[in-house]
A = this chain, B = another copy of it.
Amino acid sequence: MTIERKSLRWNGWGPVNQPVMLPDNAPQWTWMAEALGMTSLPATKAKPLDEITMAPSRLNDDLVSRLSAIVGGSQVMLDNYERAFHARGKSYHDLLYVRAGKLDMAPDAVVYPRSADEVLALVKLASDEDITLIPFGGGSSVVGGTNAMAKSLGGVVITLDTTLMTRIIQIDKIAMTATIEAGIYGPALEEALQKHGVTLAHYPQSFQFSTLGGWIAARGAGQQSNRYGKAEKWLVSAKLATPKGMWTTESTPASAAGPNLNQLVAGSEGTLGVICEATVKIHDIPARKDYRGYLFKDFKSGVEAARRINHAEIPVAMVRLSDAPETFFFQAFSSSSAQTSLKSRLQRAYLRFRGFGDAPCLMLIGHEGDDDTVAWAQSRTQAIATGLGAMKLGTSAGERWYHGRFGSPYSRDPMMDHGIGIDTLETSTRWSNIENLRDKTVAAIEGAIAANTPTQNGKGIVMCHVSHSYPDGASLYFTFVFPRQLDRETEQWQAIKRAASDVLLENKGTISHHHGVGVDHTPWLREEKGEIGFQLLKKIKAEMDPNGVMNPGKLLG
Contacts and interface: CB of A to CB of B under 8 A. Distances in A.
Interface of A: 172, 174-177, 218-221, 227, 230, 232, 236, 242, 244-261, 263-269, 281, 283-284, 307, 311-315, 369-370, 372-373, 376, 380, 427-433, 468, 470-475, 508-517, 521, 524-525, 528-533, 535-537, 539-540, 543-544, 555-556
Contacts of A509: 252
A517 B258 contact: yes
Contacts of A315: 313, 315
Nearest to A280: B472
Given A172-B430, A250-B510, A373-B312, A256 B219 contact: yes
Nearest to A376: B376
A252 B516 CA distance: 14
B253 A473 contact: yes
Contacts of A176: 311, 431, 471-472
Given A258-B517, A267-B258, A253 B533 contact: no
A172 B431 CA distance: 9
Given A372-B380, A521-B257, A252 B533 contact: no
A472 B257 contact: no
A540 B247 CA distance: 17
Among A230, A247, A259, A430, chain B packs the most CB atoms within 10 A around the CB of: A259
A257 B267 contact: yes
Oligomeric state, in copies: 2
Contact of A254 (B250, B513, B535): B513
B232 A260 contact: yes
A466 to B, nearest CB: 11
Nearest to A255: B510
A536 B532 contact: no
A253 B472 contact: yes
Contact of A513 (B255, B265, B521): B255
A428 B512 contact: no
A250 B218 contact: no
A556 B529 CA distance: 25
Contacts of A253: 428-430, 470-475
Nearest to A518: B256
Given A236-B472, A516-B256, A539-B539, A261 B313 contact: no
Nearest to A251: B508
Contacts of A244: 532, 535
Contacts of A269: 258
Given A218-B256, A257-B512, A249 B533 contact: yes
21 contacts: A172-B430, A174-B430, A175-B432, A175-B473, A227-B313, A246-B532, A249-B530, A252-B429, A253-B429, A254-B510, A254-B514, A256-B267, A257-B517, A258-B269, A258-B529, A259-B263, A259-B537, A260-B267, A264-B264, A313-B373, A372-B380
A343 B403 CA distance: 63
B431 A242 contact: no
A254 B426 CA distance: 11
A247 B266 CA distance: 21
Contact of A259 (B242, B246, B266, B430): B266
Contacts of A514: 254, 256
Contact of A428 (B255, B429, B521): B255
A311 B315 CA distance: 12
Given A517-B257, A521-B257, A537-B259, A472 B532 contact: no
A535 B543 contact: yes
A472 B232 CA distance: 15
Given A254-B513, A530-B248, A284 B311 contact: yes
Among A253, A261, A284, chain B packs the most CB atoms within 10 A around the CB of: A253
Contacts of A472: 175-177, 236, 253, 281
Contacts of A256: 218-221, 267, 510, 512-517
Given A269-B258, A470-B254, A543 B536 contact: yes
A261 B468 contact: no
Given A472-B175, A473-B252, A510 B257 contact: yes
Contacts of A432: 172, 174-175
A248 B536 CA distance: 13
A155 to B, nearest CB: 24
Contacts of A470: 253-254
A307 B257 contact: no
Q: Which 5 A-B pairs have the closest CB atoms?
A: A253-B473, A263-B263, A175-B430, A174-B432, A252-B510
A308 to B, nearest CB: 11
Contacts of A227: 313
A227 B258 CA distance: 23
